[in-house]
Amino acid sequence: MSLKDAINNLKFDTRMQQRNIARGSLTADELNQHLGTLPDVASKAQMVTLEDDNSEDEESYSNGPTSDMGYQHPNSDSYNGGSGFNSNF
């Protein structure tokens, strides 16, 4: 497959749609036309049931999975600006 073919295959990729529209390489009309050509595969869907068999694990993530690793969300009061140094310790 050529690079041009690979790029064309990504034109309608859901992860790239908004970027392609913003760049002008895809129009909303082209996207709507493409979406209209896709087959309805809802009948092929299968139900997946997840069991909650270990509530202890969920409690350990109550503050987020990285809370004990020093990660600070940029909107938090103690965010260090991404410098890697946190003077709050």
- pLDDT higher than threshold 80 for residue 87: no
Separation between Cα atoms, residue 21 and residue 17, nearest integer Å: 6
Separation between Cα atoms, residue 58 and residue 65, nearest integer Å: 10
Domain boundaries, the chain: 10-37
Average pLDDT over the chain, rounded to an integer: 75
* Alpha-carbon dihedral angle through residues 67, 70, 76, 79, given to the nearest 10 degrees: -170
Range in 16-30, 50-64, 75-89 the model is least confident about: 75-89
CA 12 to chain centre: 16
Q: What is the pLDDT of residues 36-71, one digit of tens each?
A: 999 999 999 999 999 877 655 555 555 555 544 555
Query: What tokens does 18 get?
Result: 């908004």
Residue type, 88: N
Positive/negative CA dihedral, 81, 83, 84, 88: negative
User: What is the pLDDT at residue 78?
Assistant: 53
